[in-house]
């Protein structure tokens, strides 16, 4: 097959490597100057397994095995490869996330996990207060500083953590794909998706070049909706994508919660509406989990958004963090980044064919798919080969056996035609 991948983020690079290794001719068109410079570069890169769906758990657990083998996968020396930092991952119980259901899914997939009550949290992660503050509130709410109402328990997965450098992971994939024959063109913006007799025939670039291909994959991240409009494929989508702005803040780590301290897990905290993790340089990063009290920052044009952190969001996220980490000290000035998620209505991505023959989508990653990088290319390559060999996943969904864990994923979970599922947390947790 002759394949064009639109977008050289982590998703486009993953699928490029897998298809090149399978012997296909692959060309990645990326409009910026290098790989992984879009939302990938801003990723908090958290690797966790607590998803609200069976496929979410299975794929993330499979991907973790891939991170452990990453240097071998991308065939570079370990010192030149991105790396999984294992810190463990704690998610608090909350009406916003049913950890009971999730525990069942984790056990089914044989993911090691432990229930921690408040006492265990104090013992294992002494910096972290198990106080219950539900529901999340605006910092301007008079109730924000109200005393806690009880205590929380949570679910701990010791194998969770984060990847040290998401952009390096994209660069690793790009170099590996090039060694296997893939071609990358940077500063190449796709402006049209030409088609003939119901089949895609390639892409047109802004400089007038046409790249011919029988298969085109939309991996344009927050620009995915725009590319789907260019391709005229949205007619039968039950779920579409929309860019959402997010801020992630960075501040000095307290002395009792940092990378050198084994009691410093990554934390998902739906009780306060934040997530946080230790970071390099004695820092801590904190992001949001879309609590009901916060306005969602939808963006109409992904080329027009403020990339700087703002004082109101900084105050909300860091003050919530201070309730969870009582020893935290908050600097006066905001520090951090803002970037875009590519969000679907149920926060579950769309990895699928479309009604235009040869045109595929790997989109709607909803702030939660970086961790799945080591398996994404495999899933998409299986789906593309299945379809191009004559099967129709709309009628006969593909079931993929994951190579390392043996778990089975029903790819209709990621179908464009599957209505939004009520099982989802409808947040970045997926």
Contacts with ligand FAD, residue ranges (CB under 6 A):
6-12, 29-32, 37-40, 42-46, 189-190, 219-223, 227, 246, 248, 339-341, 365, 367-371
**Least separation, in Å, of the C-beta of 278 and ligand FAD?**
13
Element (H, E) at 287: strand 283-288
Nearer to ligand FAD, 45 or 328 (CB): 45
Identity of the residue, 35 or 154, whose beta carbon is nearer to ligand FAD in the bound complex? 35
Nearest residue to the partner ligand FAD, using Cβ: 9
- Least Å from the CB of residue 266 to ligand FAD: 8
Q: Shortest distance, CB of residue 231 to ligand FAD, whole angstroms? A: 11
In the numeric block, the tokens 């301290």 are attached to 261
Smallest distance, ligand FAD to C-beta of residue 85, A: 12
Cα separation, 106 vs 210, whole angstroms:
46
Q: How far is the CB of 223 from ligand FAD (least distance, A)?
A: 3
Handedness of CA 290, 292, 295, 301 (dihedral sign): positive
- In the bound state with ligand FAD, the residue whose beta carbon lies nearer, of 40 and 172, is 40
Is the C-alpha dihedral spanning 221, 171, 13, 348 positive or negative?
negative
Put residue 262 in one of left, alpha, beta given phi > 0 → left and psi -120 to 50 → alpha. Answer: alpha
Give yes or no for a contact between 118 and 152, defined as CB atoms under 8 angstroms apart. yes
Shortest spacing between CB 145 and ligand FAD, in angstroms? 28
CA gap 297, 247 in Å, rounded: 10
Q: What are the residues whose beta carbons fall under 8 Å from the beta carbon of 341, sequence distance 6 or more?
A: 39, 222, 243, 244, 246, 365, 366, 367, 428
| Beta strand ranges found along 122-255 (DSSP E) | 154-157, 161-163, 183-185, 190-192, 195-196, 199-200, 202-205, 210-212, 215-218, 242-252
Q: Would you call 126 helix, strand, or coil by DSSP?
A: coil
Which H or E run contains 230? helix 224-231
Asked if omega into 164 is within 30° of 0 (cis), the reply is: no
Residues 416, 387 contacting (CB under 8 angstroms): no
Q: How far is the CB of 122 from ligand FAD (least distance, A)?
A: 26
9 vs 66, beta carbon nearer ligand FAD: 9
Q: Minimal distance in Å, beta carbon 156 to ligand FAD?
A: 17
Q: How far is the CB of 422 from ligand FAD (least distance, A)?
A: 22
Q: Which residues contact 61 (CB under 8 A, 6 or more apart)?
A: 49, 109, 111, 405, 407
Buried b (16+ CB within 10 A) or exposed e, 29-40: bbbbeebbbbbb
Bridge-based pairing of strands 25-29 and 2-6 is parallel
Exposed, middle or buried by CB within 10 Å (0-12, 13-18, 19+), for 132? middle
Least distance (Å) from ligand FAD to the CB of residue 23? 23
Dist. CA 28–CA 126, nearest whole Å: 47
Residue 120: other Cβ atoms inside 10 A: 15
Q: How far is the CB of 44 from ligand FAD (least distance, A)?
A: 3
Please say which residue, 151 or 360, places its beta carbon nearer to ligand FAD: 360
């Amino acid at each position: 097959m002759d394949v064009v991948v639109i977008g050289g983020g982590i998703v486009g690079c993953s699928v490029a490597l897998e298809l090149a290794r399978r012997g296909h001719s692959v060309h990645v068109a990326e409009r910026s100057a290098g790989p992984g410079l879009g939302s990938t570069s801003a990723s908090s890169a958290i690797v966790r397994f607590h998803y609200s769906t069976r496929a979410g758990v299975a794929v993330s657990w499979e991907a973790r095995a891939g991170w452990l083998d990453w240097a071998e996968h991308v065939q570079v020396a370990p010192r030149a490869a991105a790396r999984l930092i294992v810190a463990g991952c704690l998610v608090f119980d909350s009406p916003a996330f049913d950890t009971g259901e999730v525990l069942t899914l984790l056990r089914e997939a044989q993911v090691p996990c432990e229930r921690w009550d408040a006492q265990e949290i104090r013992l294992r992660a002494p910096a972290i207060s198990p106080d219950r503050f539900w529901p999340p509130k605006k910092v301007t709410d008079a109730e924000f500083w109200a005393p806690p109402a009880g205590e929380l328990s949570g679910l701990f997965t010791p194998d969770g953590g984060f990847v040290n450098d998401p952009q390096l992971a994209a660069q690793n994939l790009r170099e590996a794909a090039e060694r296997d024959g893939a071609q990358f063109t940077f500063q190449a913006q796709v402006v049209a998706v030409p088609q003939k007799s119901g089949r895609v025939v390639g892409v047109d670039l802004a400089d007038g070049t046409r790249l011919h291909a029988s298969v085109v994959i939309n991996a344009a991240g927050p620009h995915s909706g725009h590319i789907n409009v260019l391709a005229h494929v949205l007619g039968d989508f039950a779920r579409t994508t929309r860019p959402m702005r997010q801020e992630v803040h960075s501040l000095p780590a307290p002395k009792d919660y940092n990378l050198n301290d084994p009691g410093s897990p990554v934390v998902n905290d739906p009780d306060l509406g934040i997530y946080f993790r230790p970071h390099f340089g004695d820092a801590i990063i904190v992001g949001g989990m879309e609590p009901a009290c916060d306005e969602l920052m939808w963006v109409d044009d992904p080329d027009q958004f403020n990339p700087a952190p703002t004082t109101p969001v900084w105050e909300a996220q860091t003050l919530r963090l201070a309730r969870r980490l009582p020893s935290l000290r908050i600097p006066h000035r905001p520090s951090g980044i803002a970037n875009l998620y590519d969000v679907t209505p149920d926060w579950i991505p769309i990895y699928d064919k479309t009604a235009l023959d040869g045109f595929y989508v790997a989109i709607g990653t909803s702030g939660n798919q970086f961790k799945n990088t080591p398996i994404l290319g495999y899933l998409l390559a299986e789906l593309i080969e299945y379809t191009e060999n004559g099967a129709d996943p709309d009628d006969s969904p593909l079931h993929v056996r994951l190579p390392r864990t043996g778990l089975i994923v029903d790819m209709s979970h990621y179908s464009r035609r599957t209505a939004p599922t009520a099982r989802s947390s409808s947040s970045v947790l997926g």
